[in-house]
Structure 1
């Protein structure tokens, strides 16, 4: 059974095919609750975001835009969906609004009306009674939401359980129940990185057999972080994910070149810089980070690829935290190489 979105609405697609089945949650792998006192015994205010079941996670810090190109590229897949709690009042408003809008929509198909009616019956007068209003202080409804940045990912359909009731401080019983670590992984996916443009000397145009120095400005290439927070249905958790640049890999764009060091990987210095800025008088020295081209690029240019590896770590509610898989981000820049055996610098 899968969930689909229609605008911002969350609809149970399985109902539309007549498969009215409430999936029984499995065993969750995370310790619950995420931290002492983070869930439960919370009076419901009755406020709601009627008609919608979108993620309540908010992000702050170095957050990229939804179509931003400078996203860190991890060696793993960020979460595409998870489960979040909703108060009785919020969940009731959602179901009733969806039901009313569907029934009253001009031209709405009868099977859609029947499906939303069956869905409503589960919580109003079926498996549950009146949305568990008599137990509003004792628990919350848990609902599936999709990561807004992963809507095109087929995995965003994997959180397919119908909304289910969880008593305060009980384990929701699903592996994707939101935790500080899931928030940390979502924050990882939201980090905005600086453009990876390496400073070169000589810049843009260099000479055959001349060592080109390369470095990154440590004022620009410093650690960045994003905090993801969730306050919903008695749950109040957050996690901060930090990305720190630790190395730069140079790929000259041709086999007729040498890199410094020979691996092409320049590691971070003790002062958090990468490489060394060229200064007058160093023309006869070998750069700690750089390239020497052995032939001309002719009328064109070589495409130098510079890739930064970012070390990722996180900390969250309940003294949780630890490392996450490293990520990379790279760009290319054109380098013209002219014939010359020597040059005064």
Structure 2
């Protein structure tokens, strides 16, 4: 059994490569600290998670299951942060290091290089450059540690926050570009949003006819803005950000080139009442729908795979700041639709 966890390996990476030093912090920023207080009532988990450097950020609202693969997809070349730096109190950091050291040294069969590395890591903060984890300065500052976005641990970018834990005095800037801020929390929340399944309502439903305009619309009661709040309360820092996704348009892709979309672009914009498309009602069979599809050939014994993709406008606001919009995102699903040979149908 190997007691060095992924979080431990993260902190020890520099040691194992012979880099037994702390990366120097940069110049202080006039915008630090990012907050003078907190907003909202999102609660922070009380778990210390001793033995591994995991993020203390908590999420609330419309939060998707981790690893579900249903994340909103940015329309531009943009990705949420894969790692960042967070503060820890002296007591929390000491607990982390001592627990990691004890677990590693006492694990049967533990590799000697791992024992040596964790011992060297501990020496830096206990008896080396620092003395006893700066306990005599506990009221004057905090340790800042690198953490990975728990939803992106498989991304090589999650290892870019490679500085070993470093000391930052109260109200000083951490001096690293990935130091956690409300904006970073907003970007992390972007990746955590759970959006509703993008299934459009069709008339006729499931089975339609060749050359018949099929009406398409979204239920505005279901497709409404959704939000996720990311909060961090650690090492004297108490900040949060809320990221909101609002549906703005629907794109229809018929699943065959033998079809016409209405409008021709296939993009149905949001109406003034926040609906998309128009529900079919009796007596409208002779009308052209504002949003829909006309299939020009049958699907025979199979079905066409209609893809419906919603574009979501993403905005955020946070502690001490109201940010600009984040990149729009898309989220789509497919649904089967059978098309039969016929020129008309009674409704």
What is the SS of the residue equivalent to 1:311? strand
Query: Given the alignment, which residue of 319, 335, 338 partners 1:317?
Result: 319
* Cα 1:183/1:25, change in 2 over 3 Å: same
Pairing of 1:136-147 with structure 2 (within 5 A): 136-147=138-149
Pairing of 1:214-229 with structure 2 (within 5 A): 214-229=216-231
* Cα 1:305/1:111, change in 2 over 3 Å: same
| Separation (CA, whole Å) in 2 of partners of 1:30 and 1:312 | 28
Pairing of 1:1-345 with structure 2 (within 5 A): 6=5, 9=8, 11-26=11-26, 31-36=31-36, 48-74=48-74, 75=76, 76-345=78-347
Conserved 8 A contact 1:49-1:90: no
* Cα 1:154/1:124, change in 2 over 3 Å: same
| Separation (CA, whole Å) in 1 of partners of 2:111 and 2:147 | 25
What is the SS of the residue equivalent to 2:145? strand
| Separation (CA, whole Å) in 2 of partners of 1:274 and 1:78 | 28
Deviation at 1:277, TM superposition (A): 0.1
What is the SS of the residue equivalent to 1:96? helix
| Separation (CA, whole Å) in 1 of partners of 2:308 and 2:65 | 23
| Separation (CA, whole Å) in 1 of partners of 2:69 and 2:336 | 19
1:240-276 CA-partner distances (Å, limit 9, x unpaired)? 0000000000011111111111110000011110000
Count of equivalent residues: 334
Point out where structure 1 has 5 or more consecutive residues left out of the alignment. 39-46
| Separation (CA, whole Å) in 1 of partners of 2:29 and 2:160 | 16
| Separation (CA, whole Å) in 1 of partners of 2:114 and 2:203 | 66
Bigger mean CA deviation after superposition, 72-81 or 203-212: 72-81
* TM-score calculated relative to the size of structure 1: 0.92
Conserved 8 A contact 1:28-1:174: no
| Separation (CA, whole Å) in 1 of partners of 2:163 and 2:203 | 57
Bigger mean CA deviation after superposition, 206-215 or 106-115: 106-115
* Cα 1:28/1:256, change in 2 over 3 Å: farther
Conserved 8 A contact 2:85-2:180: yes
* Cα 1:296/1:50, change in 2 over 3 Å: closer
Deviation at 1:19, TM superposition (A): 3.1
What is the SS of the residue equivalent to 2:52? coil
What is the SS of the residue equivalent to 2:79? coil
CA RMSD of aligned residues (A): 1.8
1:165-187 CA-partner distances (Å, limit 9, x unpaired)? 00111110111100000000111
Conserved 8 A contact 1:18-1:115: no
Deviation at 1:17, TM superposition (A): 3.7
| Separation (CA, whole Å) in 2 of partners of 1:101 and 1:5 | 8
| Separation (CA, whole Å) in 2 of partners of 1:203 and 1:69 | 28
1:96-153 CA-partner distances (Å, limit 9, x unpaired)? 1111222222222222222111111111121111111111111000000011100111
Point out where structure 2 has 5 or more consecutive residues left out of the alignment. 39-46
What is the SS of the residue equivalent to 1:150? coil
Bigger mean CA deviation after superposition, 103-112 or 161-170: 103-112
| Separation (CA, whole Å) in 1 of partners of 2:27 and 2:308 | 44
* Cα 1:214/1:122, change in 2 over 3 Å: same
